[in-house]
Amino acid sequence: MRVRKWMALATVAYILYGLFIYSYLFLMGDSSVPESVKGTSADPHTFMTSHELVISENFSNIRNLLYFITIPLDWYVFFLLLISGFSRKIADWSLAAARFKFLSKLVYVFVLSLLTMIISLPIKWIGYQLSLHYGVSAQSTASWLKDQTLDFWIQYPLLALCAIVFFWLIQKRRKHWWLYAWCLTVPVTLFLFFIQPVVIDPLYNNFYPLKDQALEKKILTLADKAHIPADHVYEVNMSEKTNTMNAYVTGIGENKRIVLWDTTLQKLKDQEILFIMAHEMGHYVMKHVYIGLAGYLVLSLAGLFAIDRLYFYLYQKGAATFRLKVSHDIAALPLLLIIVSMLSFAASPFTNAVSRHQERAADEYAVNMTKDGEAGVTSFQKLAKSGLSQVNPPFLVKIFRYGHPTMMERIMDMEKAAEKEKTPKKQ
């Protein structure tokens, strides 16, 4: 009876949460353009058609709804696995099937990963179909399924490694396991960060040196002006998957890459592309990649400490109910994952705020480097149109989803920069 009560409460809580998010996004959330912005280049009415305005609002609201209901869905599923005793049954079955403890843990994590993927797949499919319907995605079903499969086979071994190591440390170093775990995550994080551009990213897309050599020469001249050692700019064939645009800097050391999506090359003029590249160079010059990496490591240390406190508190309270035998029981993995996911979600407003600060600084760098605020204005307008983005999203969407300033904020900043350029300097 107690188990059914908790399952019913969890179900009601999830439904109420979903209703709140729906009401907020479609009824209460304010995405209107302030009076002070109307008529300016930051007003979407000046660069989007009435049809584009309607579909961008609809697309953004549905996409945001899917995001906000997907995250707690994992918590809900993991809690049901624990409270129903199904996690215990999977762990016992895995041990009987594999016989050896180490192999049984690999089997358990595989079953858990497969189960969560199957449960989340319908929502991901809806998101994919939504993007196709609104013309944001251009990806074939076969390609989409391939990406989902790649996601699984990249995430599963990482999760299995973390689970086995973490529970082993909990067993052997109960008091300071979180500190030992953090010490191990540092080299692993650095390694993954180093190999991502040359090993992981190419699994999803094809990367090659920029085909337009005249444009590459302009970009490399800009890089030289910024004192950035660069021999190539990379292009990636994202037009096979999306109609949106992007450019980014990734990796560290010799594996650092500046990447342009081919959609960006197709839809932006040369001066706009140079502005975008100057923005990415700003990240490099201001060492945002390294600052972000260091910040992640510091945040992960604090996070592991918090996980330690919360995990053992909840384990003591719910061990009997969840049918957990010991604190390092692999059947407790859903509990650990709930805590990790909740802490990550709770920290996202802070990490997003830091990211938005860095992005604004990179925008300012791009204006100072190119002396072309107008190119910044038109670039952001085209980015908003191609991605059907809300230029002024509701508050909760901004703090939980936006690692960049809103398009309205970015265009307004660029408009001010462009006006400053036109103002004659006093002699």
Ranges of the chain whose pLDDT falls below 50: 427
Q: Is 279 annotated as a binding residue?
A: yes
Question: What whole-number distance in Å separates Cα of residue 28 and Cα of residue 278?
Answer: 38
- Write the pLDDT tens digit of every residue in 379-418: 999 999 999 989 999 999 999 999 999 999 999 999 888 7
pLDDT of residue 255: 67
**What Rg value do the Cα atoms of the chain yield, rounded?**
24
Nearest to 370 by CA among 269, 290, 294: 269
Q: What is the pTM of this model?
A: 0.91
Active site residues: 280, 363
pLDDT of residue 303: 96
Give CA torsion, residues 167, 171, 176, 180, to 10 deg: -50
% helix / strand / coil in the chain, to the nearest 5? Answer: 75, 5, 20
Q: Is 359 annotated as a binding residue?
A: yes
Question: What whole-number distance in Å separates Cα of residue 392 and Cα of residue 86?
Answer: 44
* Whether the Cβ atoms of residue 397 and residue 417 lie closer than 8 Å to each other: no
Report helix, strand or coil for 353. helix
The alpha helices in 268-406, defined as continuous H runs, are: 270-285, 288-322, 333-370, 373-387, 395-401
